[in-house]
Amino acid sequence: MATDTMTKDGVLAARGGTFLTEDRTAAEVFTPEDFSEEQKMIGQTASEFMENELGPKIPQIIKLDYELSRELMRKAGELGLLGIEIPEEYGGLGLDKVSGCLVSESAARDGSFAVTFMGHTGIGSLPIVYFGTEAQKQKYLPKFASGEWISSYSLSEASSATDAMNAKARAVLSPDGQHWILNGEKMWLTNGGFADVYITFAKVDGEHFTAFIIDKGTPGVTLGAEERKTGIKGSSTRPLIFQDAKIPKENLLGEVGKGHKIAFNILNVGRFKLGAGVTGGAKFALKAAAEYGKSRTSFGQPITNFGMVREKLGEMAIRIYVSESIVYRTAGLIDKNLEGVGLNDVAEALKRIEEYDAECSMVKVWCSEMLDYVVDETVQIFGGAGYVDDYPAERYWRDARVNRIFEGTNEINRLLVPGRILRKALKGELPLFQKAMGLMDEFTAGPSFEEPEEGFLKAEERMVKGAKKIATMALGIAAQKYGKGLGDKQELLGLWADVAMETYALETAVLRAQKKAARDGDAACAVQEAAVRCFAQDAMDHIEASAKRLLAALDDGDMLRTYLTALKRFGKRDAVNVVALREQVAASVIDAGRYTL
Amino acid sequence: MKIIVCVKQVPDTETRIRINPEGNGIVEQDVNWVVSPYDEHAIEEALRIKEQKGGEVVLVSLGPDRAQTALRNGLAMGADSAVHLKDAAFDAADTMGVAKALAAAIKGIGGYDLVLTGQQGVGGDNSQVPGLLAGLLDLPQVTMAIKLETGDGKATVTREIEGATEVWETSLPAVISAQKGLNEPRYASLKGIMAAKKKTIEAKDAAALGIAAADLAPLTQVASLELPPARPAVRMIDGDPETQARELLRLLHEEAKVI
């Protein structure tokens, strides 16, 4: 996979999970300020295309217009926007993940089209990119890249979704050995209504979970009615029904019984990109909220003069800044780790991406929840106008909700975070338990009286160090208490996932702002500094609250008191005036009428 | 045909402009720089002519380091090569200085059949460079082109005038400046963007162009630059139509002092 559009200077492919056990410097993380000239131009092409071609057609798109969706996809294909992750030899461009994220952000101008676009380029195309035979790649990928064919994907069934292995759809080989005969019904076929190709799964002989590529019009394959969804109404979602469907035997994807590898790996490689999509969506919502707020008067003045409205706009921008920071740090990590690995070595490429599965899950959860906050406050700023469909706010609100459900629910992804981190620790790839032991020694040795270092976000840098200690200590104690049984303690794992996510988010935001300040000077980063200082307080509050609940569920009495004293010491910080900081961010958003950090 | 297109990098029209403390220019920090929209029409036209008749499209831009991005954008649209005129000595140049430098660069490139420019550079909006350029190169000029057809050694240009259109025929080479409506500029495709990485941008300073500091001495200077006044709050006039009309008349007389 070519990663040569990436600004590589100094960026480090730090091992996955080490954000907890090691300190990073600003130069080592990739940030949106590091986009190369090509990445910026790709982002610009995508943004102009979506603004001019998609923007005016949103009213039609959301009425679910198959032909229009296909037409827009064909035009996107002509520009190369559908071929970013398809190798050059199959008509794509084989570009980096950062470029893919920039395009996903732009596609989020409309939630429905974003799902159509990402369904096709992600779960629709990548199974063949990573697991297809040469013939399958030759047949499908050039047409996927050009948009001549649209792909769709379904993993779920009426009675299985997260537990995809419980699929009831069956496949048996025909007596002449030329076809797979499929029976059963899949659910939520994204892009189903206008797709030419369906990627789906069935159990061979009722036992072996296997992936199949199904061409539209195959005898015995039909589609059920469109689902009447809460949002993304312009995205097609239909059941896929097999009644003795005859699938040519060459349309089996991967190996018999290895469907789970395809299903889970493809979710892994696409998950962080959802973070990019929702970050883009949040920027559009913030723009709508800021513009509406400036034009709406109350008591003779624009409502953006009022403190509580300003506070919302400031906080929306702060969270978008953090979201953007973790998306591109993670995409940058993957790009860096993929350097020199081609798609002819699929196993190695997948392994290099999988290295960051905890980070990818964190991005998915954090960013989708960020979007829900932003669209909710957008509705609030629109007031009554936010509750009617004459204005875009309610559509943003409805469209956002699904992001916490698909691509692995946020619950499943919360479980994956400690799951992956613990697995790395147990395999000896991450010195988490050693660090946890060391922390106990550090704690019993008493507090340090060193003079704190002064400088740009230095206090926040210390908070990051404290957050890492809290996360490490809490997971260490939990693992010690429950051992392997910890895997069943979902509520505890969820609490810890929140601690880890906020830690990753905080560190990333601090490093991004420091990297920009090192380049442009502190004065040029005043708004970013305010945003990060404000976020740091909230993140630490969140970390402490979650860690406290977790620790209180692990022990009581003197032990708990000791843990809580340690928590207090590691979380030590001075209170800052977050009201003023948020106002500083708000002023810049309101002045510009959009996200400008 | 060999076509030279002059490109200017300007602030994105969505940029919120701030005036610098000296009051003679804008604050460049946080400005998003783009190819002037009129120049995009010029580039597009050049690419269409090349696609029909074959040939070569060369871009020329004068500006600081960042102007290279504008050239790269044009190369990504499909232009073949670019020349970047950059020198600290150009900083103080006015439209005449810019035109002299561009003319020298165009003469240096040589062998061209057509010079295309935008009608004006968005932002400064002087509309002077195309005319100065034609004068300096001693070439015929047609402005405000909304349609262009090239033939053997000549071109037919439809230009927009107040309430009508004119059709001109000119010999080539000529300097033709593009008005909006000439065409619909293409997006840079991802393939084009990746291909642009490998195309050359040749940098030239004043010495390389054979231009002396005296040639660049500005003939004009910006005395001051001000933002348009902020729009005052709207005032609603209450009452029946007659009262409203009287009050409006009074305000126009006494407060706005326009009648």
B16 touches chain A (CB under 8 A): yes
Of A300, A191, A204, which is closest to residue A256 (Cα–Cα)? A204
Asked whether the beta carbons of residue B189 and residue A592 sit closer than 8 angstroms, the reply is: no
What is the C-alpha to C-alpha distance for residues A301 and A307, in angstroms, rounded to an integer? 13
pLDDT for B204: 97
- Name which of B29, B30, B193 is nearest A41 (Cβ-Cβ): B193
- Name which of A41, A84, A592 is nearest B73 (Cβ-Cβ): A41
Q: Are B172 and B4 in contact (CB under 8 A)?
A: no
Of A431, A422, A518, A510, which is closest to residue A464 (Cα–Cα)? A510
B194 touches chain A (CB under 8 A): yes
Q: Are A497 and A415 in contact (CB under 8 A)?
A: yes
Q: Which residue of B has its CA nearest to A81?
A: B190
What's the gap in Å between the CA of A172 and the closest CA on chain B?
Answer: 43
- Name which of A41, A78, A95 is nearest B188 (Cβ-Cβ): A41
Q: pTM, whole model, 2 decimals? A: 0.93
Mean pLDDT, range A531-551, rounded to an integer = 98
B191 touches chain A (CB under 8 A): yes
Average per-residue pLDDT in chain A?
95
Asked whether the beta carbons of residue A80 and residue B190 sit closer than 8 angstroms, the reply is: yes
Mean pLDDT, range A106-110, rounded to an integer = 97
Confidence of residue A5 (pLDDT cuts 50, 70, 90): very low
Mean pLDDT, range B205-229, rounded to an integer = 92
Of A260, A513, A461, A471, which is closest to residue A358 (Cα–Cα)? A471
Classify the C-alpha dihedral A273-A276-A277-A278 as positive or negative. Answer: positive
Stretch 36-75 of chain B: residues touching chain A, C-beta under 8 Å? 69, 72-73
Question: Cβ contacts of residue B119 below 8 Å, gap of 6+?
Answer: B38, B127, B130, B143, B144, B177, B178, B179, B180
pLDDT for A3: 39
Q: Are A534 and A318 in contact (CB under 8 A)?
A: yes
CB pairs < 8 Å spanning A and B: 45
Classify the C-alpha dihedral A345-A347-A348-A350 as positive or negative. Answer: positive
Classify each residue of A87-112 as buried b or exposed e, where b means 16 or more C-beta atoms within 10 Å of its C-beta. beebbbbbbbbbbbbbbbbbbbbbbb
pLDDT for B231: 76
Stronger pLDDT, A4 or A456, i.e. the higher one: A456
Q: Indicate if the pLDDT at residue A161 is higher than 90.
A: no
Catalytic annotation present for A250: no
Mean pLDDT, range B4-28, rounded to an integer = 90
Q: Which residue of A has its CA nearest to B235?
A: A300
Helices of type H across A62-178: 66-79, 97-107, 111-118, 126-131, 134-146
| B-chain residues near A95 (CB < 8 A) | 190, 194
Q: Which residue of A has its CA nearest to B76?
A: A41
A38 touches chain B (CB under 8 A): yes
For B127, left (φ over 0), alpha (ψ -120 to 50), or beta? left
pLDDT for A8: 57
- What angle, rounded to 10 degrees, do the helices at A357-382 and A259-295 form? 30
What's the gap in Å between the CA of B207 and the closest CA on chain A?
Answer: 28
Q: Among the options A85, A377, A394, A407, which is catalytic? A: A407
| A-chain residues near B194 (CB < 8 A) | 5, 38, 93, 95
**B232 preceded by cis ω (within 30°)?**
no
What is the C-alpha to C-alpha distance for residues A570 and A551, in angstroms, rounded to an integer? 14
Stretch 88-127 of chain B: residues touching chain A, C-beta under 8 Å? none
- Name which of A45, A591, A592 is nearest B187 (Cβ-Cβ): A45
Helices and strands (H and E) in chain B: how many: 8, 11
Classify the C-alpha dihedral B250-B254-B255-B259 as positive or negative. Answer: positive
What's the gap in Å between the CA of B89 and the closest CA on chain A?
Answer: 25
Report percent pLDDT > 70 for chain A: 99
Q: Are A410 and A417 in contact (CB under 8 A)?
A: no
And the tokens for B235? 């005032």
| B-chain residues near A42 (CB < 8 A) | 190, 193
| A-chain residues near B196 (CB < 8 A) | 38, 41
pLDDT for A441: 83
Of A389, A440, A454, which is closest to residue A562 (Cα–Cα)? A440
What's the gap in Å between the CA of B194 and the closest CA on chain A?
Answer: 7
- Name which of B29, B72, B194 is nearest A93 (Cβ-Cβ): B194
| CB < 8 Å & 24+ apart, contacts of A99-102 | A99/A5, A99/A38, A99/A39, A99/A42, A99/A43, A100/A273, A100/A276, A100/A331, A101/A272, A101/A273, A101/A275, A101/A276, A101/A327, A101/A328, A101/A331, A102/A35, A102/A39, A102/A42, A102/A43, A102/A46, A102/A276
Mean pLDDT, range A234-239, rounded to an integer = 97
B187 touches chain A (CB under 8 A): yes
- Name which of B29, B69, B190 is nearest A42 (Cβ-Cβ): B190
What is the C-alpha to C-alpha distance for residues A183 and A241, in angstroms, rounded to an integer? 8
And the tokens for A361? 């899950």
Model confidence pLDDT, tens digit, residues B29-40: 878 899 999 999
| A-chain residues near B33 (CB < 8 A) | none
Model confidence pLDDT, tens digit, residues B233-250: 778 888 999 999 999 999
A95 touches chain B (CB under 8 A): yes
Model confidence pLDDT, tens digit, residues A187-214: 999 999 999 999 999 999 999 999 999 9
Q: Indicate if the pLDDT at residue A36 is higher than 90.
A: yes
pLDDT for A7: 46
